[in-house]
Structure 1
Amino acid sequence: MIRRSLPLLFLLLAACATQRPPEKPMTANDSFGEVRESLHRNGDDLLSAGLGLAGLRARSPAFADAAQPTAAELRRRAIHTSWAGIADLGPLGGYGDIYGAVPSVPGREYQAFARLHGALAPHRVLLQAPDAFDANARCLVVAASSGSRGVYGAIALAGAWALPRGCAVAYTDKGTGSGYFDLDSDSGVALDGTRAARGTAPLEFEPAHVDAMRGVAIKHAHSSGNPEADWGRHVLQAARFGLAMLDRAYPAQAPFTPANTRVIVTGVSNGAGAALQAAGLDDGLIDGVVALAPNVHVAGHGRALYDYASEAALLMPCALVDARFDAVPFARVHGATPPAWLARCARLHEQGVLEGTDLAAQARAALDRLHAAGWDDLALATAASSTAFDLWRAVGATYASSYLRAPATKMPCGFRFAATDAHGAAIAADAPTRAAWWSDASGIPPGAGVMLLGGTDASADPTAAGIDCLRRLWSGNDAPAHALHAAVAATITRPPRADLPILVAHGEDDGLLPFAFTSSAYIDALAAAGRKPVLWRVPHAQHFDAFLALPAFGDRYVPLLPYGYAALDAMWKHVAAAAPLPASKRFPTHPRGARGLDRGMLALDSGD
């Protein structure tokens, strides 16, 4: 059953006109559109849309009509995609046995498009209110999506921990997400996830109209607003939305305010970076923060993502040629190094970037440069997967476009996003492809039928031209480089207030957001500012738990998600029962090898 409400502002004014004039967390700068309320019971639920653990492990649920899926079908598949992209649900990974569970949690959802003051594009906010909300321990968990995912992108962490415990969860896509706009059909994504033509409904993302535009516009890349600079504000606005919606969900217990409801902010990756940004802006709304593998940038410590991602895109293909990576998953294809990686060494040598007259020497020179820049061999080994999947280039093109506020038709370095045919040529997306974007896409192409095009040539190293251009945007001294640096500077995270408890957990083998550049730098910065955050270092954990189901990859690593659940347990005990926070520690983990995970390998009950 679906009910559509009047705009939230009207509802708030109406609430104030009744006998409850409560202290409200809303601010004058909060702007929300129509709120969509939906019920999820009887074969449907909040945590898995009725799929359960078995259904989440299976293939994505099909649409009855691929060209026109229903809102319920899109929601179910979006939740499936979000779980599959974050958690290791493979048969050896231990989810549901060693850690985690996916019980049925009936309840209601409240969803709206929110807009920050001055923002050009909205972000999506959503509250999940369980029927079994614990009125005696009022709890709201707030989470931003991981990566550039849609609004359910943190459900495997925040939802799985909070909902079965009777906590409500407020999510935000933090100005990223999978609400792709199709320039060929001039259509975008409506509030319920279905496609709608421009002008027929409020859309998740709607770029300015220009005649004869072709391809696909992505909210993270093309909203012209550098959403990363506002991730903290997105999280705080989602928290305020969540408290307001709790009044609607549980009117007998209203009002819900920061004074009577404990608010914990959490997230993974970019979502964790957003949580820490929110911590740096908070003035009393948040009670505690748990951040897993955060993409966090602090002044004077560590490195910005764009810096090391563009560096990795340039140097890592050659560095991974070194023999020390022969046994590393994804560094070789059927025992051989990808030919384009060999060509990268030759190209960098011809450009005078690398010394060495033979391939081995050139690979060592590339490796030496990465080591000097702060990369260690643990991060480099897992970064082989990001290199093999061409993630560095995709991240670089998306973030460069966002930082430079470029429209879809004028992305830097000649890049563009479009659907393609079997030969890789750009075409207009068909209706089934468009319909599945919101449920299936990760927020950064390639994927879900959208490809990254441009920035290539016909050489033996076809992606090098675009990568050279992306790197020059960081290392150059022209106007675009200055503009990009200014945009990156706007994403710097501030220290939190002195009494805000912070717990950061990070895998030591993270090859996408290396520990040295992110969490270690953040902890050092907070220590210099007189703060005392908790740091959990997790050996043998890398960035993508979902990769652990891949052959040979899971043999070497442990999942990070169990430490997120344990950290949330500890934070809840601290904010709800005044228990001391646990100490910073390094867990003595052990990879599972070819056998299934057991709890002893995680060493959650010990540490040094």
Structure 2
Amino acid sequence: MAGDCYGGGMEKLPVLPVATLALTLLCAACAAHGPARGPGRAMTESPMAFESVRATVHRGDDDLLTAGLGLDGLRAPTPPAFADETKPTPAELRRRAIWSNWRGIADLSPGGGYGDVYGSVASVPGREFAAYASVPGATHPHRVLLQVPDGFDAGKRCLVVAASSGSRGVYGAIAVGGAWGLPKGCAVAYTDKGAGTDYFDLDAGLGVGVDGRVGQLDAGGLAFAPDQPAGAGGIAVKHAHSKDNPESDWGRHVLQAAGFALAMLDEAFPEAAPFTFENTRVIATGISNGGGAVLRAAEIDDGRLDAVVAGEPNVQVEGYGSRALYDYATEAALWMPCALLHLEGLPQPPLAAQVAPSWSQRCAVLAGSGVVEGADTAARAKAAYDHLRARGWTDEALRAGVLSAGFDLWRAVAVTYASAYGRYGVGQHPCGYSFAAQAADGSPRKATDTERAAWWADGSGIPPGAGIGIVDAKRAAPDPDLPGLQCLRALWDGGSAGADRVRRGIAETRASAPREGLPVVVVHGADDGLLPMGFTSTPYVAMAREAGRDVRYWQVRHAQHFDAFLGLPDYASRYVPLLPYVYAALDRVSAHLEAGAPMPADAVVAAVPRGAGMPLRAGSLAIPP
């Protein structure tokens, strides 16, 4: 599969041997060439090997940023079709993955402002280099990808390194780093952070290769091939089943992607080589888990990064009111459905009439267990609400959190992360969860060829989705999800060996202060209901500043976590997108690095939602100067 091109008429580039790449990276910082850099840059690099390197060209109707879809194609409600649904080509998979990841991150709806008020979907021709990279000690690789626009300025030498949000595949930051960097002529490197959509079908013995196509285990070259106990069936998910606790290595994933980018720039522009960390300006960025990843890179950076911009980061520190994602996700999964019944005027969807019966049942079960008090649903909901408020949840976070409660996202996060933190493999989940294709009644079944072929392009890295569901062996009336959720919660606050194991994994993910002198900007929505800034960014900034680091902080009022859901009318009327602030922070940091402009000041941004039926206007964003 290595070295294949994405269709007819494209230039075929050579496969690059691993030994050459290791040598290239070993020497990457040995000599300076191009713009002079400031003090503290890395002068030596450890050798790194990359496998299954694949180089492809993307011009004409297949560009880097939108795979030729443009804004209209990205807005299409159905994904780009496969000519053969069971055997899509690499070009078709790439186009569909780009469509899926744009739509999962950005608000592309008419009136939402993308492409005219902020952001770009310009056609950017160029080349891509893809490979597997391995962190020392990990049993499975992570994907790295470099996009090099034809307009890359070898004299300017601008590189953006972007980490995927959530558990998305390697294109999971294209709407963040790619949309900002590619139209400016910067090369953009990506990493899937050891998660991604490289699902493995345990029943069929099939996984995913470097080009996204399904392949046999015995053929080699798969991105993820888990240990498979005898008789195990269903679907293995890399984030959950790799046994690597990838979150503990997020920072290394980012820095490896940067190293891969320099090696590929040497291959792309041999006349301008070597590209080094001394002569190439490197900005790391990401949102959500990607934001957490670049902050983790900042703490272990030895001079390879010039700046970091983190949007709504999933980051945890010791103290300062910080809380681990697993802690508040399992808490929310249990308590939030009941607590939300206390609040009026919640964003829709979910439709109140649909969720109220099950949420009322949760209140009743919690009361029957002595967890909450109250003679009726209203009193119980008030008690659950008071509990969450006492634990640091704001009304703004609770209101926006209705989306995660209504769409079962809290459980999805807890199931996958419990397995990842505990380094559990297939069939080892301490609460008995597994993943599989499901029949209409929820029972597990074998996946079809058509479903399997689309996983890499359509998945988000965390089931449910893309035809894969969560199988819960503990389901029982009257509240079917509750027994499993209580088990997941006990892995945080219980005394079992499994809880100790999960908590050890969580401890491995705590962040510390960024490298001294590294410019860092953190951007977070004040209404974030998935990663509340009071548990994440605010404690991180306090910790970093107490350590003497100059971290700038933008808090955006009326911004929640999911820009993509602003396509829903009620969300569009209430909230502003966060991406324009991330782009603006990247603009400010770039101006600081290139022209010595001041770093942006701290800001509490008084953004104004556009209101029902109104288009987004630039002035309502109130972007800081």
TM-score (norm 2): 0.94
Determine the structure 1 residue equivalent to 2:440.
Answer: 422
For the residue of structure 2 that corresponds to 1:338, the secondary structure is: helix
Aligned partners of 1:29 and 1:117 also within 8 Å = no
Q: Distance in 2 between matches of 1:12 and 1:471?
A: 44
Of 489, 497, 505, the match for 2:515: 497
Letter in 1 for 2:506: V
Q: Distance in 2 between matches of 1:25 and 1:176?
A: 30
1:340 counterpart = 2:350:
no
What pairs with 1:373-392 in structure 2 (closer than 5 Å)? 373-392=391-410
Letter in 1 for 2:533: F
What pairs with 1:364-403 in structure 2 (closer than 5 Å)? 364-403=382-421
Aligned partners of 2:22 and 2:48 also within 8 Å = no
Determine the structure 1 residue equivalent to 2:50.
Answer: 32
Determine the structure 1 residue equivalent to 2:143.
Answer: 124
1:233 counterpart = 2:252:
yes
Determine the structure 2 residue equivalent to 1:46.
Answer: 64
1:468 counterpart = 2:486:
yes
Superimposed CA distance per residue, residues 156-215 of structure 1 (whole angstroms, 9 cap, x where no aligned partner): 010010001010001000000000001011010000110000020311111023332210
Aligned-residue offset at 1:327? 4.0
Determine the structure 2 residue equivalent to 1:549.
Answer: 567
For the residue of structure 2 that corresponds to 1:62, the secondary structure is: coil
What pairs with 1:168-187 in structure 2 (closer than 5 Å)? 168-187=187-206
Determine the structure 2 residue equivalent to 1:135.
Answer: 154
Superimposed CA distance per residue, residues 465-492 of structure 1 (whole angstroms, 9 cap, x where no aligned partner): 1100000110101211111111100001
Superimposed CA distance per residue, residues 564-588 of structure 1 (whole angstroms, 9 cap, x where no aligned partner): 1101001111112221101000111
Aligned-residue offset at 1:357? 1.8
Superimposed CA distance per residue, residues 351-372 of structure 1 (whole angstroms, 9 cap, x where no aligned partner): 1111122211111111111001
Aligned-residue offset at 1:252? 1.4
Determine the structure 1 residue equivalent to 2:269.
Answer: 250
Superimposed CA distance per residue, residues 97-145 of structure 1 (whole angstroms, 9 cap, x where no aligned partner): 1111211111100110111111111000000011110223211100110
Of 282, 287, 305, the match for 2:306: 287
Superimposed CA distance per residue, residues 19-50 of structure 1 (whole angstroms, 9 cap, x where no aligned partner): x9747978446231121000001211110111
Task: Tell me how large the CA RMSD over aligned residues is.
Answer: 1.8
Of 528, 531, 556, the match for 1:538: 556
Q: Distance in 2 between matches of 1:25 and 1:452?
A: 47
1:568 counterpart = 2:586:
yes
Of 88, 110, 115, the match for 1:96: 115
Aligned partners of 2:603 and 2:624 also within 8 Å = no
1:586 counterpart = 2:604:
yes
* CA 1:398–1:529: 2 relative to 1, 3 Å: same
For the residue of structure 1 that corresponds to 2:145, the secondary structure is: strand
Aligned partners of 2:181 and 2:187 also within 8 Å = yes
What pairs with 1:293-304 in structure 2 (closer than 5 Å)? 293-301=312-320, 302-304=322-324
Aligned-residue offset at 1:590? 0.6
Of 195, 217, 226, the match for 1:207: 226
Q: Distance in 1 between matches of 2:105 and 2:580?
A: 12
Determine the structure 1 residue equivalent to 2:333.
Answer: 313
Letter in 1 for 2:189: A
Superimposed CA distance per residue, residues 411-467 of structure 1 (whole angstroms, 9 cap, x where no aligned partner): 221211000122222111011100000000000000000001115424131111110
Determine the structure 1 residue equivalent to 2:542.
Answer: 524
Aligned partners of 1:15 and 1:21 also within 8 Å = no
Aligned partners of 2:346 and 2:402 also within 8 Å = no
Determine the structure 1 residue equivalent to 2:209.
Answer: 190
Of 67, 72, 85, the match for 2:104: 85
For the residue of structure 1 that corresponds to 2:286, the secondary structure is: strand
Letter in 2 for 1:401: S
Q: Distance in 2 between matches of 1:194 and 1:99?
A: 34
Q: Distance in 2 between matches of 1:261 and 1:337?
A: 52
Determine the structure 1 residue equivalent to 2:576.
Answer: 558
Aligned partners of 1:408 and 1:417 also within 8 Å = no
Q: Distance in 1 between matches of 2:418 and 2:165?
A: 19
Q: Distance in 2 between matches of 1:373 and 1:460?
A: 27
* CA 1:210–1:456: 2 relative to 1, 3 Å: closer
Superimposed CA distance per residue, residues 299-327 of structure 1 (whole angstroms, 9 cap, x where no aligned partner): 113100000000000100110111x2344
For the residue of structure 2 that corresponds to 1:409, the secondary structure is: coil
Q: Distance in 2 between matches of 1:219 and 1:318?
A: 32
For the residue of structure 2 that corresponds to 1:417, the secondary structure is: strand
Unaligned runs of 5+ in 2: 1-9, 33-41
Q: Distance in 1 between matches of 2:275 and 2:384?
A: 55
1:349 counterpart = 2:367:
yes
Q: Distance in 1 between matches of 2:547 and 2:382?
A: 38
For the residue of structure 1 that corresponds to 2:569, the secondary structure is: coil
Determine the structure 1 residue equivalent to 2:20.
Answer: 10
Letter in 2 for 1:604: I
* CA 1:28–1:530: 2 relative to 1, 3 Å: closer
- Count of matched residue positions in the alignment of Structure 1 and Structure 2: 603
What pairs with 1:263-274 in structure 2 (closer than 5 Å)? 263-274=282-293
Determine the structure 1 residue equivalent to 2:237.
Answer: 218
Q: Distance in 2 between matches of 1:355 and 1:31?
A: 58
Aligned partners of 1:455 and 1:463 also within 8 Å = no
Bigger mean CA deviation after superposition, 362-371 or 9-18: 9-18
Letter in 2 for 1:81: S
For the residue of structure 2 that corresponds to 1:339, the secondary structure is: helix
Q: Distance in 2 between matches of 1:130 and 1:43?
A: 15
Unaligned runs of 5+ in 1: none
Bigger mean CA deviation after superposition, 392-401 or 202-211: 202-211
Q: Distance in 1 between matches of 2:119 and 2:567?
A: 16
For the residue of structure 2 that corresponds to 1:517, the secondary structure is: coil
1:153 counterpart = 2:172:
yes
Aligned partners of 1:25 and 1:240 also within 8 Å = no
For the residue of structure 2 that corresponds to 1:279, the secondary structure is: helix
Of 278, 281, 292, the match for 1:259: 278
* CA 1:351–1:65: 2 relative to 1, 3 Å: same
Aligned-residue offset at 1:605? 4.8
Aligned partners of 2:159 and 2:283 also within 8 Å = yes
Letter in 2 for 1:560: L
Q: Distance in 1 between matches of 2:367 and 2:25?
A: 68
* CA 1:262–1:16: 2 relative to 1, 3 Å: closer
* CA 1:352–1:259: 2 relative to 1, 3 Å: same
Q: Distance in 1 between matches of 2:346 and 2:30?
A: 65
Superimposed CA distance per residue, residues 487-537 of structure 1 (whole angstroms, 9 cap, x where no aligned partner): 100001121111000000000000000010000010111111111210001
Bigger mean CA deviation after superposition, 60-69 or 338-347: 338-347
Letter in 2 for 1:394: A
